[in-house]
Amino acid sequence: MNKSDTSKIMFSAGESSGDQHAANMFKELQKQLPNIKGLGMGSSKMQQSGIDIHFDSSNIAVIGLVEVLKHYGEIRSALKLMQKLVVSEQPDLLVCVDYKEFNLKLARFAKQQGIKVLFYVSPQVWAWRPGRVVTYGKAIDMMAVIFPFEMAYYEAENVPVTYVGHPSVDKVHPLHSKAEDLASFALDVNVKTVGILPGSRVNEIKRMLPVMLAAAEELQNKYSKIQFVLPQADSITDELLQSYLQASVANVTVIKNQPYDVIQCCDAIMTTSGTASLEIAILQIPMVIAYRLSAITYFFAKYLVNTKFIGLPNIIAGKGIVKELIQHDVTANKLADEIDQILQDQSYRENILAELAVVKERLGKGGGSKNMADLAIKMLSV
């Protein structure tokens, strides 16, 4: 393929993290193929990168059986629209970013139409349903994995696979120094700072933010001086966030568009599981990971999931290096107690930091977005 030629790539991202990954990948593609066209489903980051968004995925970024059922109509409409787009646009390549079950259906459809499919971010076959390796293998042309240990699962079934590196390694960089951020955010350098990261999905905010705010209130009552910061995800509206913050007496500073600058200012963090916990690990901040699912989703997950941990830092480390609180264990008291220990017990804190350094090292040097762009160009050339 002549790199001056115009290629058309369709992207499908259903969540905030996927929106960012796709945007970064497209920026790298534009460096090598200035005339490339991007279109598909995503949100603000993809749109800002120059991808033509035909469906805004903000409202379908849900997790769990009950949540998916509640939004089934919207999700089905999105899938139908994307399938029509495959037919009408006939892209040279479909890049499915995470959002597993939806993108599996879309990938199958695209393959039937003779479209090449590159799947970015493997389903967690190492945690549950390893048989999905074969299922996905039939629907795609290439699986791009972000953890080195995932390669073996696909190679064992002769599914084309490439390790591209974790995208967070490249993007997790504060824009300013910690001193500059503390001043900019009007935070007291002599006061302990605790981060509150309740998630990037609406249902996560509803489940996690109230209990995190309650924990903040407990800590506020215990410490004569303590400050809280909350980096607001792009996918969360001011109205939703403020409805909870205004009902709490916790003194929380909300900061937009600078998540990594906010994280680096923290002495300890309460976070949901997911990509955020890995980003915190990269920035080397001690944390407690907490997560709640709907009762029905949790019931099924207990029997289906075959992993000791839910937090990515613990999964990569192969042991519990940071505390996890799941479902009924997610209480204000337990969250506050863990944050208190991180702040007060120096040896405990230093041990967590030492383990987080190992996790960061295992993630490698990065280059994920460029590696994805190179892989896409290679597939376009065949």
Q: What is the pLDDT of residues 315-361, one digit of tens each?
A: 889 899 999 998 889 999 999 999 999 999 999 999 999 999 999 99
Q: What's the pLDDT score for residue 1? A: 44
Burial 301-338 (b: 16+ CB within 10 A, else e): beeeeeeebbbbbbbbbeeebbbbbbeeebebebbbbb
Number of H helices, E strands in the chain: 18, 13
Confirm or reject CATH 3.20.20.150 for domain 8-165+367-381, answering yes or no: no
Per the DSSP assignment, residues forming a β-bridge with 254 are: 230
Q: What's the pLDDT score for residue 201? A: 84
Q: What's the pLDDT score for residue 47? A: 96
Question: From the CB of residue 30, how many other CB atoms can be counted at a distance below 10 Å?
Answer: 15
Low-confidence spans in the chain with pLDDT less than 70: 1-5, 61-71, 127-128, 294-295, 297-307
Q: What's the pLDDT score for residue 120? A: 97
CA-to-CA separations, 165 to 23, 310, 364, in angstroms, rounded: 16, 20, 7
Q: What's the pLDDT score for residue 234? A: 84
Annotated domain spans of the chain: 8-165+367-381, 178-362
Q: What's the pLDDT score for residue 313? A: 94
Q: What's the pLDDT score for residue 69? A: 64
178-362 shares the fold of 8-165+367-381? yes
Could you tell me the pTM of the whole model?
Answer: 0.74
The angle, 0 to 180 degrees and rounded to 10, between the axes of the packed helices 72-89 and 100-112 is 30
Which of 275, 272, 233 is CA-nearest to residue 256?
233
Pairing relationship of beta strands 117-120 and 142-145 according to DSSP bridges:
parallel
Q: What's the pLDDT score for residue 294? A: 65
- 102 in Cβ contact with 62 (< 8 Å): no
Q: What's the pLDDT score for residue 41? A: 96
Confirm or reject CATH 3.40.50.2000 for domain 178-362, answering yes or no: yes
